[in-house]
Amino acid sequence: MRKNVIISIVVLFIFLPIIGCKSVPSQSGDMEGGQVKLTVAAAASLVDALDELKIMYGEKNPDIILTYNLASSGTLQKQIEEGAPVDVFISAGKSQMDALDDKGLVIKDSLTNLLGNQLVLIASAQSNIESFDDLATDLVNKISIGTPETVPAGKYAQETLINLNLWDNIQPKIVMANDVRQVLTLVETTNVEAGLVYSSDAIQGKDIKIVATPPAKACKPIVYPMAIMASSKHIEEAQNFQAFLLSDEAMEIFIKYGFINIKN
C-alpha cells in the first residue's frame, strides 16, 4: 500500500510541469482560433444588405469574423460613448457620427459617406390612403415614426411632416418606435394605418404599399456616414472591411436592397 502511494506521488510530480505549461485560451474576446473578430455597429435599416455582405466577405476573408450590432443610430452612438467595443460604425444620420467625431472617438481619416436613402410613406396593401394629406383625415388613427431623438428616420419623418404643415394636426396620432424596422412591423401587422420608413425598408415589407414620396426639400438629404472607431484594436482589418463596403461589388448589393449610390 505504502509503495503504491509513493509511485503515485512520483508520477504526479513528473506530469505536473506538463499540466502547468498548458496554454490558457485568450479572454480578450476579439480573437477566436486565430481569427480576428470585427464588431460593426450599424443602423437597423442596413440589416438585410449587411447580412448578404457578411457572407460575401467571409468567403474571401475566412480569417475575419464579423459581428453586427444593429440598432437605432442614436442607441449605438450612446453605446460607443459609454465604451462599447466597436471597430466600425455606420450611422443612418450625420448628427450621431458628428457627435462621436467631436469627442475624438472616430478616426477622422476614415470618416466617409457610404450611402444615401429615401423616406417614403407606407400603408397596408389594402389601405385607401393615397397621400400625405390623408394622414390628417379619419382614414388614419395611428401613424408610426421612429423616435426623433434617437432614430434618424424618425427625425427625417418629423422634419418632413413639419414642412408639409401636418405635424401639429397629427401629433396625437403618432406612435413612436425604437427603430425604423419596428415602424415597418407596425404597418405590416396593421397596428398602425401608416408609417414613415426608408425606401430600403419598404422593399422588404410584406403586404404593404408605398403611398407617397415627400418632396425633395421636405427634409435634409439622407446620408449614411461610416467611420472606424479610434478605440479599435484591429485598425488594418477595419480598413480592409471599410474598403470592401465602398467597393463596386458591395454597392451592387446595397442598391439591390434599395439604397442609393451617392458616389456617382
What sign results for the dihedral spanned by CA atoms 165, 167, 45, 72?
A: positive
State residue 263's pLDDT score. Answer: 80
Of 3-12, 70-79, 186-195, 212-221, where does mean pLDDT reach its minimum?
3-12
Segments in the chain forming alpha helices (H): 2-20, 47-60, 73-81, 94-102, 152-163, 167-170, 180-188, 199-204, 235-245, 248-256
pTM over 0.85: no
pLDDT of 79 above 90 = yes
122 within 8 A of 129, measured Cβ to Cβ: no
pLDDT tens sequence across 4-61: 444 444 344 434 343 343 333 333 346 656 799 999 999 999 999 999 999 999 999 9
pLDDT at residue 111, as a whole number: 97
Domain annotation for the chain: domains and CATH numbers? 31-116+222-256 (3.40.190.10), 119-212 (3.40.190.10)
Tens digit of pLDDT for each residue in 100-142? Answer: 999 999 999 999 999 999 999 999 999 999 999 999 999 999 9
Query: Degrees (nearest 5) of the Cα angle 194, 200, 201?
Result: 40
Would you place residue 216 in the very low, low, confident or very high pLDDT band (cuts 50, 70, 90)? confident
Matching residue, cell 465604451: 83
